[in-house]
Structure 1
Amino acid sequence: MSTASATAPSGNDPTDPTALSDDLLVALDGPIARITLNRPGKLNTMTPTMGKQLLDLVDEINVDDDIRVVILSGTGARAFSAGSDISVLDGYGSNWQLRNRVDYARAIWAIRKPVIAKIRGYCIGGGLEMALMSDIRYSDVTGRFGAGEIKLGWHGGAGNTQLLPRVVSPGKAMEMLFTGDLVDATEAHRNGLVDRLTEPEDLDAAVDDLATRIAASAPIATQLSKHLVRVAQSTSLDVGLAYENDMFTYCFTTADAAEGRTAFAEKRTPDFQGR
Structure 2
Amino acid sequence: MATIHFSRILFNRSPHIVKSAKYFPSSIKFYSVQASNYEFIKVEKSGEKKNVGIITLNRPKALNALCNKLMNEINDAVSKFDNDENVGAIILTGNERAFAAGADIKEMMNNTFASNIRENFLEHWNGIAKAKKPTIAAVNGYALGGGCEIAMMCDIIYAGDKAKFGQPEIAIGTIPGAGGTQRLTRAIGKSKAMELVLTGNQITADEAEKIGLISKVVPADQLLNEAIKLGEKISSHSQLIVSIAKESVNKAYETTLQEGLSYERRMFQATFSTKDQKEGMSAFVEKRAPKFTKE
TM-score after normalising by structure 1: 0.89
Q: 1:25-40 alignment to 2 at 5 Å?
A: 25-29=42-46, 30-40=50-60
1:235 is aligned, of 241, 247, 255, to 255
Deviation at 1:230, TM superposition (A): 1.3
**Matching of residue 214 in structure 1 with residue 234 in structure 2:** yes
Aligned to 1:97: 115
Q: What do you get for the CA RMSD once the two structures are aligned?
A: 1.7
Moved runs in structure 1, 4+ residues, more than 3 A?
Answer: 102-105
**Matching of residue 265 in structure 1 with residue 282 in structure 2:** no
**Alpha-carbon separation, structure 1, partners of 2:53 and 2:190:** 33
Q: 1:1-275 alignment to 2 at 5 Å?
A: 3-4=32-33, 16-17=34-35, 19-29=36-46, 30-74=50-94, 76-90=95-109, 93-99=111-117, 100-103=120-123, 105-275=125-295
Identity percentage over the alignment? 34
TM-superposition CA deviations, 1:40-75 (whole Å, max 9, x none)? 11111111111222223333233322221011000x
TM-superposition CA deviations, 1:166-216 (whole Å, max 9, x none)? 111211111100010111111111111121011123222221211111110
Check the 8 A contact 1:116/1:207 in 2, yes or no: yes
Check the 8 A contact 2:238/2:293 in 1, yes or no: yes
Check the 8 A contact 2:88/2:235 in 1, yes or no: yes
Check the 8 A contact 2:122/2:178 in 1, yes or no: no
5+ residue gaps in structure 1?
5-15
SS of equivalent to 2:181: helix
How many aligned positions are there?
260
Residues 32 and 210 of structure 1: is their aligned pair in 2 closer, same or farther, counting only changes over 3 Å?
same
Residues 102 and 161 of structure 1: is their aligned pair in 2 closer, same or farther, counting only changes over 3 Å?
closer
**Alpha-carbon separation, structure 1, partners of 2:227 and 2:73:** 24
Q: Which amino acid aligns with 2:38?
A: S
